[in-house]
Amino acid sequence: MRKSDKTLEKTDANEEVCDITAVLKAARFAAEKHRNQQRKGKDRTPYINHPLEVAEMIAVVGKITDTNLIIAALLHDTIEDTETKPEEIFQLFGNDVVSLVKELTDDKTLPKHIRKQRQIDNAATITSRAKILKLADKICNVSSISTNPPNNWSHERLIEYLEWSEKVVNELLGVNNELEVKFKQEMHKTRAHLLKQKINKIPE
């Protein structure tokens, strides 16, 4: 191997380590911010499981190696659901990451029905990378409806959530085929699960 090849190999290795280090730093930051939170599902799983799942969805299913996008996936609920300020994310992870997180952040000062409609209205206008992140988020949330649904949600409310999610995702299409196929698969599986549940509850 020529000397220049060795130098290139070392540089590439160092860059890879830096990327992994940044992702781990973000995972630790998110775990700390969500440390006292649990998911709404009946199993009450630690909240950090969700951003980890979204990040994995982007990397494994979406086949995306964009480090900042994966970091943003880990942090995507920190501003909205914790006391995290955008300035904290900017100082630790830079403007690109905080901009992505802000694109996924709902305005909690607004009523819930307005926030949900804004997600539909704004989905087509966010950046392509934010669309990928939102798509991965919706896949994970739709999947959880069948595997670990929120406590006390009626069958009708679960169906309404799926219909709303589909309206949002319809405005995100064209950014990542693998994730779009995965969403359709999860939607089909979850609807079939809910239908089976409903049929089983119908008295003979």
- Our answer to whether residue 80 is catalytic in this structure is yes
| Tens-digit pLDDT string for the chain (204 aa) | 333 333 333 334 334 433 899 999 999 999 999 999 998 877 889 999 999 999 999 999 999 999 999 999 999 999 999 999 999 999 999 999 999 999 999 999 999 999 999 999 999 999 999 999 999 999 999 999 998 998 889 999 999 999 999 999 999 999 999 999 999 999 999 999 999 887 876 543
The token duo for 168 is: 């949002």
Interior/surface letters 128-156, b for 16+ CB within 10 angstroms, e for the rest: ebbbbbbbbbbbbbbbbbbebbeeebeee
Which residue out of 5, 15, 53, 81 is catalytically annotated? 81
**pLDDT at residue 200 in the model:** 75
pLDDT digits (tens, 9 = 90+) for 83-108: 999 999 999 999 999 999 999 999 99
How many distinct structural domains can be found in the chain? 1
Which residue out of 56, 80, 166, 180 is catalytically annotated? 80
**pLDDT at residue 202 in the model:** 57
**pLDDT at residue 11 in the model:** 35
Instruction: Classify burial at 90, counting beta carbons within 10 Å of its beta carbon; exposed 0-12, middle 13-18, buried 19 or more.
Output: middle
Beta bridge partners of residue 46, listed in sequence order: 38
CB contact set of 180 (below 8 Å; sequence gap of 6+): 135, 169, 173
- Our answer to whether residue 137 is catalytic in this structure is no
DSSP for 160-196, written as a single string? HHHHHHHHHHHTTTTS-HHHHHHHHHHHHHHHHHHHH
Q: Which domain holds residue 84?
A: 3-201
Between helices 86-93 and 3-33, what is the axis angle to 10°? 160
CATH number, residue 92:
1.10.3210.10
Global pTM reads: 0.87
- Using CA atoms, how far apart are residues 84 and 151, in angstroms rounded to an integer? 26
The token duo for 165 is: 């999610």
